[in-house]
Structure 1
């Protein structure tokens, strides 16, 4: 009986011990879990106050910063027939190297001796110009001779007019004298007739006086006729002077007409000469256009025409050329909401396709395999998809902690970039993302900015 009681007592003790141990284990687990939760909470609390770098993401492609470094098409300036190709796709060419040779297909340029023909026409036109110049000199000499001849004739005719005027004046004076003598003769005759009636004079004296009056009347009529003749001579001299002037004007007008014709011929010849020289220069320049040359150093990416004997039009593209050693840049597209936050010289972290990298959005300093860049320009207008293009160039000089952009970059390859903005606490970034707010526009403290620089 005693053994049975002792056995029960031992069993109860063991059960109590087991229950105590279980309780202690549960308490320890609760304490451990509480400590873990507290540690996690403290870690998260500390984590929320860690600095976070705000960024603006964007995707795009690699391009060239300068327009002359981007792929371009090589065009022929005249239409023609393909005669020979001097390059193949992927070949490197230098500036001025021959890419393509074409032949003429325009009918006005078929004559192989066309430059010589134009030179002959030019010489003929130059001879016409010389003849017109000679005619001008001859006309000028003719006009000079007309001037000299007119001066002599005018002097002679004017002297003749003056002489006729003097004759008219002299005859007018003589007529006046004869008229006075005739009046005196008539008065004497009247006195002699009165004296004859009074018996003072004889009949013979009367008849003598009557005869003198008739003679004086005859002299008066003769003098009047002479005066009329002198006046007629003066009129004829004046008419002759006017005829000389009219004849001179006609001769001068004809000479001036000949001079105008010569000047017009010379101007026409000069215009034709200029036109022929222009055609000759165009022909010489056109001969150089049969060879299509590389506009700059680069690589022939693709030939856009094929075969021999194929006709190509004027201004048609024949090949695509990639310039050598372009100044590469990255063009990334960002949302319109983020564009006002990007500065003209904001830093950018770039990740190129084909170069493994790990990029942390908020900690660009610990990113691996990314490259540094700086904003070069931002488009003033949006793209068709509503986003804005941002051109990013390589930072010069390259920061000591970074590597220069790979020389193997090819235009058109993909790129992913993040524009670096301000530093904020992680809790603020989480709150901003949950509420859909844009990044902060507040500037960093001056000290931090100077350290960043």
Structure 2
């Protein structure tokens, strides 16, 4: 009866123009759960075999690779008081623009004619040095004249000495002649004595020969005395020559001493000139330091001194300058456990603060809004947080980094490692195994 009633109701519902019964009981609906389960399993199977890029995620900041492109502190070199400010915070300055004018605070530099007076001292010392050099030149001329006079005097003495030597030789010959004559006269006198004793000659002839002997003896003595006088004169000439040499040597030595003294005084004066020139250069440089100039183009930020007349100490920070042009880089801080997985030349993906991105971890090619980088340097020392600093530069083969980046902005980095299957990555994480370690092939030139 019930079955008949149900069949009748279904037949009536099918033939009826009202569809409420069909919508409420869904009598013609067939279950699709088997298809969904099969589809999900097939999709999961496909996903398990998709490629997955292992990675190391870390936080970092935007910086620059070159130190001169980072925010620069502008310090004062000399102490002074603030006279005038030429800029305000936020102003843009070009290299060489005046930022601040300082006034002198040290009494030794108060003289307004300091450079002029120092230059006058330099000129006076220079004239003194030139005078000493001229005096040394005069001494050289005097030495030359004395040397020539000595040579002439010695030539004269040499000639006189040769003449006296010839005279000594002549007197020596005269002495030999006198000795021969004395020998003849003595032999004749002895013969005359014998002949007188024999009575052959008269006493007058004997006395004549005796007188001849005495004359020959006197001549010999006179000639010998003359020879001795000639030798004595030769010795006197030799002494005169020595005295001449000694006299001129003393004069030349004195002139050379004066020359060396003049050269020493000239060198001392030159040294004083050099010292004064150094002092003058220091004064001149100090005058230029009264105007603090911008070392490079950039924006003025964080002025530390204010007001007029405020004292600025040597080396004190005045303001900071943010340079115009940068070669951006990112400094990442990596845990020591992940450091072996990072190598120079390795690819890195970034998400910069202020630039939203949809990141598909493991599928960097499908990530939207990420930017590429290359590891440039890895520091060998940890920071205060115990992490290693890694510098990453822009990847020239990838899309350009945003020009709106600013130094100090945040960046989230993803260091790309080996590409594996999804099932392997799940299995690795379940077992707690580390990522695959490998060294990237450094086929690209890292931007410096």
Q: Same fold (TM over 0.5)?
A: yes
Residue matched to 1:168 = 168
In 2, the alpha carbon distance for the partners of 1:382 and 1:149 equals: 82
In 2, the alpha carbon distance for the partners of 1:55 and 1:32 equals: 40
Structure 2 residue 408 is matched with structure 1 residue 412? yes
Residue matched to 2:420 = 424
Residue matched to 2:443 = none
In 2, the alpha carbon distance for the partners of 1:129 and 1:442 equals: 74
Structure 2 residue 238 is matched with structure 1 residue 238? yes
1:23-422 mapped onto 2 (5 Å cutoff)? 40-368=40-368, 370-384=369-383, 385-396=385-396, 398-399=398-399, 404-422=400-418
Query: Deviation string for 1:407-446 (max 9, x for gaps)?
Result: 33221121111122333221111111223323224799xx
TM-score by length of 1: 0.84
Q: Displacement, 1:35? A: 6.7
Bigger mean CA offset, 32-41 vs 434-443: 32-41
Determine if contact 2:343/2:439 at 8 Å carries over to the other structure.
no
Query: Deviation string for 1:390-411 (max 9, x for gaps)?
Result: 3233333554xxxx43333221
Q: SS at the partner of 1:381?
A: strand
Bigger mean CA offset, 132-141 vs 331-340: 331-340
Q: Which runs of 5+ in 2 are unaligned?
A: 6-24, 26-30, 441-448
In 1, the alpha carbon distance for the partners of 2:334 and 2:430 equals: 20
Q: SS at the partner of 1:262?
A: helix
Change (3 A) 1:378 1:144: closer
Q: Displacement, 1:379? A: 1.1
Q: SS at the partner of 2:382?
A: coil
Change (3 A) 1:378 1:228: closer
Q: SS at the partner of 1:333?
A: strand
Residue matched to 2:434 = 438
Q: Number of residues paired by the alignment? A: 415
Query: Deviation string for 1:195-221 (max 9, x for gaps)?
Result: 122221222222222222222222222
Q: Displacement, 1:59? A: 0.6
In 2, the alpha carbon distance for the partners of 1:153 and 1:367 equals: 109
Aligned alpha-carbon RMSD (Å): 2.7
Q: SS at the partner of 2:157?
A: helix
Q: SS at the partner of 2:372?
A: strand
Determine if contact 1:86/1:100 at 8 Å carries over to the other structure.
yes
Query: Deviation string for 1:277-308 (max 9, x for gaps)?
Result: 33223322221111111111111121133333
TM-score by length of 2: 0.85
Q: SS at the partner of 1:361?
A: coil
Q: Which has the higher helix share?
A: 1
Q: SS at the partner of 2:78?
A: coil
Determine if contact 2:348/2:375 at 8 Å carries over to the other structure.
no
Q: SS at the partner of 2:380?
A: coil
Residue matched to 1:3 = none
Determine if contact 2:376/2:393 at 8 Å carries over to the other structure.
no
Q: SS at the partner of 1:419?
A: strand
Q: SS at the partner of 2:220?
A: helix
